[in-house]
């Protein structure tokens, strides 16, 4: 079996293919159950093989690549922050990823607090007293890093799985 060797991510939006051509009847949507089935079985295997810390880091890095590409392809980074945040919320809701709420933003310090309700990844999960949205942390980090032009790290501070009713993220620049 052929496997590609890489020493750096090479993902591009074109790797998603032509969904209209490939799924003319079923279209671009699927069920949350199937998405979570893929995500949580993959997460389980990576935890088993590499441990929870490494698994979290892998999901974070993948989310960051996805968020950056998502931002470049679907958002307008020339917008002022309020308009950008509004558009980001519209796109996330339109794609049924969740409902974004900006709870705080300090544009001078580039710090942000945001919450996502009905999060695609974890809303409705059993309470395990841990945060599980490593991919979402990376996704948000990628979006904000492309928008601000700075390396932004997002950290989940509340999660449905930790007992919260929303996923809440604190975001700040990475110190060099």
Residues of the chain with pLDDT under 50: none
Residue 50 has a pLDDT of 97
Residue 51 has a pLDDT of 97
Delimit the domains of the chain by residue range. Answer: 13-173
Residue 5 has a pLDDT of 86
Residue (of 15, 170, 28, 38) closest to 94 by Cα position: 28
Q: Is 79 exposed, middle or buried (0-12, 13-18, 19+ CB in 10 A)?
A: middle
Q: Which CATH class is domain 13-173?
A: alpha beta
Q: What is the CA radius of gyration of the chain?
A: 17
Helix-strand-coil percent breakdown of the chain, rounded to 5? 45, 15, 35
Residue 4 has a pLDDT of 81
pTM for the predicted model, two decimal places: 0.94
């Amino acid at each position: 079996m052929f496997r590609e060797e890489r020493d750096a991510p090479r993902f591009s939006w074109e790797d998603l293919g032509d969904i209209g051509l490939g799924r003319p009847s079923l279209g671009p949507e699927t069920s949350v159950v199937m998405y979570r089935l893929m995500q949580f079985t993959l997460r389980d295997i990576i935890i088993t093989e590499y441990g929870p810390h490494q698994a979290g880091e892998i999901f974070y890095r993948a989310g960051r690549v996805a968020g950056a590409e998502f931002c470049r392809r679907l958002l307008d980074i020339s917008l002022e922050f309020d308009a950008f945040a509004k558009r980001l919320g519209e796109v996330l809701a339109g794609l049924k990823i969740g409902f974004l709420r900006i709870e705080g933003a300090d544009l001078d310090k580039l710090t942000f607090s945001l919450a996502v309700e009905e999060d695609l990844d974890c809303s409705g999960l059993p309470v395990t007293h841990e945060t599980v949205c490593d991919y979402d942390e990376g996704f948000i980090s990628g979006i904000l890093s492309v928008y601000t032009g700075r390396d932004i790290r997002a950290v989940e501070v509340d999660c449905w799985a930790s007992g919260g009713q929303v996923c809440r993220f604190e975001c700040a620049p990475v110190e060099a």
